[in-house]
C-alpha cells in the first residue's frame, strides 16, 4: 500500500484527495481479501457438514428398509426442493445482501441436521429434507467471491472454492464415517448441527451486509433500481437468460452434467452394493477424492485458466469427461475407480469453474446472486431427474451403463463444439 501512496504523490503533487483515495483503495482491497478468506473458511465448513450428512443418510435409509428405488425418490425430493429454492435464494441474496443470505442458509442447515437426528420413520426422513430449500451456502459463497473479484481473476478465485470443497470432503467424509461407525447416526447428525451453528457465528461476525459494488448513477442503474424488487419475481429471475450466450451455456451445463450427476447421486449405493464398502472405508475413499480435488483446484485450474481461453477449456473439460465415462464402463473394482478419480475430478472442476465464470462475467454485479442461484438450480434440476434414471439404469443394466451414457453424451457435445466454433461459447462481459 505504501508504494501505491508514494506513486500517487509523485503523479499528483499537492493533491491530498488523491492520496486519501489511494489509501482508501488499499484499505478496501485488504477488506475484500479478508472477507474472501473468511468466505473460504465458511465454505469449507459447510462442505464438511454436507459430507458428514452423506455418511449418515444412506445407512439410515437402509435401516428404515429403503430399497434402491426409494432412495432414488429421496434424492429426487432433494433435487425438486433445491430446484425451486435456488433462484429464489439467489434473488434474496441480491436484494438483502450476503450476510442475510448466508445466515438464512446456516439456520436452515441447523434445522436440517436436527430433523435428521430425530428421524426414525421413512416419513421423517423425507421431512428432514425440507430445509434444503434455503441451504445454499456454497452458491452464496460463490456470489461473495464473484462480487469481490475482477472479471479476469474470477475463474481463479472461484477455483479456490474448490479447494475448500476438497478440504470439506476430506474432513467431512472421515469425520462422518468415524462418528457414524462409533456413535451412530443420531450423534453424527447433532455434530453437524453444532458445526452449522459455528458457521453461523462466523457469518454474523465477519461477513458484511452487502458485497455489491456501488457503481456511479447511470441510466442503467436507475433502470435497475426501478425494477421489481420482489424475491419471487419470475420475470426478474428469467431476465438473465436473455443475455447473449447464457442459454447456450446453460444447455451445455445440463446436457454434459446429467451423466455425471447420475453417477454422483448413485455413488452411495455403488459404494455399498457394487464395491461392498463399510462406512469408514467409504469415508477414506471420499477423503482421497477430496485430496485429488484440492490438488487439481489449487495447482492446476488457476494456471490453465490464466493461459487458455474459456471456450478451449470448456471443450477440454467435456472431452476428458467423455474419456472418463469410457473408463467407468470398464471399471471392475475400487482400485480401478481410484485410477479414474484424477481425470474425473479434473473434468468436473474445470467444467464447473469455467461455466460459472463465463456466466457471472456476463451479468452485472447486482445480479450475481441470482445467476449463482440459477447455476445451483441446474444442479438441482439434474439431481431431480438423475436418481430415478440412475435407479432404473443400475437395476436393469448395471454400473457400466453410467459410463457408457457419459461417454456418448459428451462425445456428441465435443463434435457440436468443434463444428460450431468455440467463440460462441464465450459471452462478453456486460458492465
Is 90 exceeded by the pLDDT of residue 225?
no
With cut-offs at 50, 70 and 90, classify the pLDDT of residue 14: very low
Specify if 218 maps to a domain: no
Residue 362: φ, ψ to 5°: -85, -25
Specify if 332 maps to a domain: yes
Q: Per-residue pLDDT tens for 25-82?
A: 444 778 888 889 999 999 999 999 988 887 788 778 878 877 767 777 787 788 788 8
Specify if 89 maps to a domain: yes
Question: What distance in Å separates the CA atoms of residue 253 and residue 350, rounded to the nearest whole number?
Answer: 12
Is 80 exceeded by the pLDDT of residue 117?
yes
**57: Cβ contacts below 8 Å, ≥ 6 apart:** 74, 116, 125, 268
Q: Among 36, 47, 35, which Cα is nearest to 135's?
A: 47
With cut-offs at 50, 70 and 90, classify the pLDDT of residue 336: confident
Give the pTM: 0.69
Q: What is the pLDDT of residue 17?
A: 43
Specify if 5 maps to a domain: no
Specify if 85 maps to a domain: yes
Q: Among 383, 81, 90, 431, which Cα is nearest to 237's?
A: 90
Specify if 320 maps to a domain: yes
Is 50 exceeded by the pLDDT of residue 248?
yes
Q: What is the pLDDT of residue 221?
A: 44
Number of domains in the chain: 1
Output 151 or 158, whichever has higher pLDDT: 158
The average pLDDT across 244-264 equals: 87
Specify if 252 maps to a domain: yes
Q: What is the pLDDT of residue 102?
A: 93
The CATH number linked to 136 is 1.20.1250.20
Structural domain for 168, as ranges:
29-210+237-425
| Burial tier of 208 (Cβ tally within 10 Å: 0-12, 13-18, 19+) | middle
The average pLDDT across 360-373 equals: 77
Percent of the chain with pLDDT over 90: 19
Output 142 or 6, whichever has higher pLDDT: 142
Q: Per-residue pLDDT tens for 158-174?
A: 778 878 887 887 788 77
Output 289 or 101, whichever has higher pLDDT: 101
Percent of the chain with pLDDT over 70: 84
Is 90 exceeded by the pLDDT of residue 324?
yes
Specify if 304 maps to a domain: yes
Q: Please, which contacts does 29-38 make with residues 24 or more away whose CB atoms are closer than 8 Å?
A: 30/1, 32/148, 34/206, 35/144, 35/148, 35/206, 35/207, 35/208, 35/211, 36/144, 36/145, 36/148, 36/149, 36/157, 38/202, 38/206, 38/207
Distances (CA, A) of 346 to 146, 178, 355: 22, 28, 14
Distances (CA, A) of 367 to 19, 250, 287, 306: 33, 16, 35, 25
DSSP conformation letters of 99-133: HHHHHHHHHHHHHHHHHHHH--SHHHHHHTTGGGG
Amino acid at each position: 500500500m505504501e508504494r501505491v501512496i508514494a506513486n500517487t504523490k509523485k503523479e499528483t503533487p499537492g493533491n491530498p484527495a488523491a492520496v486519501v483515495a489511494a489509501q482508501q483503495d488499499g484499505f478496501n482491497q485488504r477488506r475484500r481479501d479478508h472477507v474472501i478468506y473468511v468466505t473460504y473458511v465458511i465454505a469449507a465448513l459447510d462442505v464438511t457438514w454436507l459430507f458428514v450428512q452423506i455418511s449418515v443418510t444412506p445407512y439410515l435409509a437402509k435401516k428404515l428398509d429403503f430399497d434402491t428405488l426409494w432412495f432414488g425418490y429421496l434424492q429426487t425430493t432433494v433435487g425438486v426442493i433445491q430446484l425451486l429454492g435456488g433462484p429464489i435464494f439467489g434473488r434474496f441474496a441480491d436484494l438483502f445482501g450476503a450476510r442475510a443470505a448466508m445466515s438464512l442458509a446456516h439456520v436452515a442447515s441447523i434445522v436440517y441436521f436436527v430433523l435428521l437426528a430425530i428421524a426414525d420413520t421413512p416419513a421423517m426422513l423425507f421431512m428432514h429434507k425440507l430445509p434444503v430449500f434455503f441451504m445454499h451456502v456454497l452458491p452464496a459463497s460463490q456470489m461473495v467471491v464473484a462480487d469481490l473479484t475482477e472479471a479476469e481473476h474470477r475463474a481463479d478465485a472461484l477455483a479456490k472454492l474448490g479447494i475448500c470443497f476438497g478440504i470439506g470432503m476430506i474432513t467431512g467424509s472421515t469425520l462422518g464415517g468415524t462418528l457414524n461407525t462409533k456413535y451412530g447416526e443420531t450423534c453424527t447428525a447433532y455434530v453437524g448441527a453444532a458445526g452449522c451453528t459455528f458457521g453461523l457465528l462466523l457469518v454474523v461476525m465477519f461477513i458484511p451486509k452487502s458485497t455489491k459494488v456501488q457503481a456511479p448513477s447511470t441510466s442503467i442503474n436507475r433502470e435497475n433500481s426501478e425494477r421489481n424488487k420482489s424475491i419471487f419475481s419470475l420475470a426478474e429471475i428469467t431476465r438473465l437468460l436473455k443475455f447473449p450466450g447464457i442459454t447456450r451455456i446453460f444447455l451445455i451445463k445440463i446436457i454434459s452434467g446429467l451423466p455425471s450427476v447420475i453417477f454422483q447421486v448413485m455413488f452411495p449405493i455403488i459404494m455399498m452394493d457394487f464395491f461392498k464398502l463399510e462406512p469408514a472405508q467409504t469415508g477414506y475413499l471420499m477423503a482421497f477424492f477430496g485430496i485429488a480435488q484440492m490438488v487439481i483446484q489449487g495447482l492446476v485450474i488457476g494456471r490453465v485458466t490464466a493461459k487458455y481461453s474459456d471456450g478451449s477449456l470448456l471443450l477440454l473439460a467435456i472431452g476428458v469427461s467423455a474419456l472418463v465415462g469410457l473408463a467407468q464402463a470398464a471399471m471392475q473394482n475400487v482400485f480401478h475407480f481410484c485410477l479414474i478419480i484424477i481425470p474425473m475430478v479434473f473434468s468436473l472442476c474445470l467444467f464447473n469453474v469455467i461455466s460459472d465464470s463465463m456466466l457471472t462475467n456476463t451479468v452485472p454485479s447486482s445480479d450475481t446472486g441470482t445467476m449463482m442461484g440459477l447455476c445451483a438450480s441446474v444442479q438441482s434440476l439434474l439431481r431431480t431427474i438423475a436418481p430415478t434414471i440412475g435407479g432404473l439404469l443400475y437395476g436393469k443394466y448395471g454400473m457400466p451403463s453410467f459410463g457408457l451414457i457419459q461417454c456418448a453424451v459428451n462425445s456428441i457435445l465435443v463434435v457440436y463444439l468443434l463444428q460450431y466454433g468455440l467463440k460462441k461459447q464465450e459471452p462478453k462481459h456486460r458492465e
